[in-house]
Amino acid sequence: MSVKDKIILLLMILLLVGGVYVYYTYTVVMDRMDEMEKQQFTHIDEVNKEFRDNLKRLDLQFIGRGKHLQTAQQDIVANTNLVNAVSADLTSKIEDVAYDLDEAVRTINNEISGLDRDLGDLRADVDSERRRTSRRLTDIEQQLTTVKNSVDDLEGLTIIQKAREKEEDK
């Protein structure tokens, strides 16, 4: 496995880990949102049930009109205050989740940009090394050709041919 393959594999693993981290934080946030939504519906049902129960009790007891209206007004004010408090709490939690998501997206985008820059640098280094290696190979081939020509010239000399003939005669 070459260095290039190792680097690409490392980058892919980093991207995969980043993707898993984003997916995990997204699912955690969505689960949290689902839970808050369920709590909101449960709370609304409790408030409505409590309001209906109080209204039924008031109807059954038939308290005087003035007192009945005053109690109903107090219940409405209490319900309104409770709804406003829960709404404010949910709003702040939603803003926190949105902030966390934005921060995660910015972090991941910065990491991806850094990885892209590193990958470009690595490509440039690999291309430079490839050119250098190609140049060296061409130089070696030229030197080999020069040596081969020199050997051929040496073999063509009459002194070497005479020495070979003497060896063959022996």
Per-residue model confidence as pLDDT tens digits over 113-167 = 999 999 999 999 999 999 999 999 999 999 999 999 888 887 777 777 777 788 8
30 against 53, higher pLDDT:
30
Cα-Cα end-to-end distance for the chain: 56
pLDDT for res 66: 64
The two structure tokens encoding residue 140: 């070696």
Q: Compute CA distances 129 → 6, 53, 122, whole Å.
A: 17, 82, 10
Q: What is the mean pLDDT of residues 9-33?
A: 93
50 against 63, higher pLDDT:
50
- The pTM of this model reads 0.37
pLDDT for res 110: 93
Mean pLDDT over each residue of the chain, to the nearest integer: 86
Question: CA 73, 75, 79 angle in degrees (round to 5)?
Answer: 115
Q: Give the least confident one: 18-22, 65-69, 82-86, 163-167.
A: 65-69
Its sign, for the CA torsion 58, 59, 63, 66, is: positive
Residue 63 — φ and ψ, nearest 5°? -70, 155
Q: Give the least confident one: 31-35, 109-113, 153-157.
A: 153-157
Highest average pLDDT, of 29-43, 67-81, 95-109, comes from 95-109
Question: Where residue 94 falls among pLDDT bands split at 50, 70, 90?
Answer: very high
pLDDT of 63 over the 60 cut: no
Residues 29 and 97 sit within 8 Å (Cβ to Cβ): yes
DSSP 119-142: HHHHHHHHHHHHHHHHHHHHHHHH
Q: Give the SS3 label for residue 63.
A: coil
What are the b/e assignments for 49-87, b being 16+ CB within 10 Å?
Answer: eeeeeeeeeeeeeeeeeeeeeeeeeebeeeeeeeeeebe
Structure-token match 């190609």, residue found: 134
pLDDT of 56 over the 70 cut: no
